[in-house]
Amino acid sequence: MGSRGAGMKSIWITDAVSLTPFGDLSALWESMMKGRSAIRPVQRFAADTYSADIASCIDDLAPGDGRSLVQALVARLLRQLHPVSPDTWLITATTKSGIDNLERAGRKYPADLDDTMLDGIFQQIRRQLKLKGECLNISAACASSTMALMQAAMLIATGCADAVLVCCADLVTEFVFSGFSVLQALSDKPCRPFDRNRNGLSLGEGAAALLVMSKARALKEGRHRLGTILGWGAAGDASHITAPAKDGCGLRQAVGRAFQVAGLKASEIAAISAHGTGTVYNDQMELEAFGQIFGDHLIPIFSIKGAIGHTLGAAGGIEVAVGLQALAAQTIPPTVGFARAAQGAEGRVASHAVDISGDHLLTTNSGFGGINAALILGKGSVP
C-alpha cells in the first residue's frame, strides 16, 4: 500500500455503540476509568473441570424459541443505534457466531442450527434494521472486527461505498471456553495485561456497531464526526497456528502499512490501544514490536481486556469505540489488572488513567494463524 492519495475520500465514524457486561459504551468507559473488572466466576455452564472458572459475561442475556444468545446480544446492541439508511452496506465480524446452539443441539435442547452459521448475525441485522445494501461477514480470528473496519475504510476510500455499518459480536460459550482451556491459555485469576506476573487471558463477550461514512454522505445526513479512520494495515507472520511470532514481525508490518496509508510518522501517535490479552507470548510480542517501532519514545499503551476480558471477534470494534472516547477526552483508561511492569512496559503501561495530547491513536489486534491488523484513528469534532 502506498501513502494516502489525494483522491482518497475522508472516512468518518459517525456512530459507535457497544454492549459489554458493564452495559453501554458510557458505562464501559466509566467502569474502566474507575479500574473495575467484570471478570467473575462463570454461571452459564459448569466450569469446575477446566483450567479456570472465570470470564466476563452478560448474565441477563436470554435466548428465545431455540435461538442463540448471540441473537439476544445483537438485538440489544442495535437498539442503541440511530436509524441507518436502507442502502448502507453491512459488514459483520465474529469468530464463532451462535456456536452455543451447537452445544444445545448436542444436548437435545431446542436449537436453531441456522444460528451457528457465520451469516446468521448479518441476516438478523438486515431484518432488524431493514437493510438492503451489500453485506458480508469477516471471520479473521481475534482481528475480525479490526479487519472489518479496515474493509469498510477501503470501500469508502475507493468510492465503492459511502456508508458501511460494521457490527461485531462474540459470546462466552462452553465450546470456546473448553478450547482455550485445552490450549492452557486461560488465567485462573482475572487477566493482567503487560504485567510481569501475567499467566493467561480471561474470556469475555460483547458487541459493537460502528457506522463508517464518507464525509460527503455524513454531512448530507447531518451526522457528526466521532472520529476518522486515517490508516490501516494487515500482515501475517506465519509463525504458528496459535502463537504469535516472538519478534513481532507481522505486527510491525501491519503498523508500518497503517502509517503509510495515513501519511503519518510514529511520533504523531498520542497513544496505543493494544491487543493486550495477558498471555505471556502475546504481550511480549507486542512490547517487542512497539519498542522497535517507537524506540525510546514512551507512548502510553493501554489494554481494556483486564476490564471486560477478551471478546474475540468483537474485541477490535469495542476497542475502536473506546479509542474514540479516549481521543475525545484526551485521556486513556487504566489497564485493569496491571501492577508490576513486564520488561518493555515500564513507563508505557499504567494502572491509572493517563492524560494524552494529540489527535491520533493506534489500535491493534492479533489472532490465531498469525494475523495482525492495525488502524490509526483521528480525533473527532464532537465530544
How would DSSP label each residue in 81-119? SPP--TT-EEEEE-SSTTTHHHHHHHTT----GGGGSTT
Instruction: Name the pTM for this structure.
Output: 0.95
Q: Domain ranges in the chain?
A: 11-220, 228-378
CATH class of domain segment(s) 228-378: alpha beta
pLDDT of amino acid 5: 47
CA distance 70 to 81: 17
Which stretches in the chain have pLDDT values below 50?
A: 1-3, 5-7
CA distances to 131, 284, 332, 351 from 32, in Å: 34, 23, 10, 11
CA distance 289 to 307: 24
Give which of 324, 381, 332 is closest to 357, Cα–Cα.
332
The residue type of 383 is: P
Q: What angle do CA 333, 339, 345 make, to 5 degrees?
A: 75
- How is residue 140 annotated by DSSP? B
pLDDT of amino acid 3: 45
> Quick check: do 11-220 and 228-378 share a fold?
yes
pLDDT of amino acid 1: 37
Per-residue pLDDT of 7-44, as tens digits, reads: 467 999 999 999 999 999 999 999 999 999 999 999 99
CA distance 254 to 59: 36
- How is residue 335 annotated by DSSP? -
Which residues fall within 8 angstroms of residue 276, CB to CB, at 6 or more apart? 193, 194, 282, 283, 286, 301, 302, 303, 304, 305, 306, 335
Check: CATH 3.30.499.10 for 11-220? Answer: no
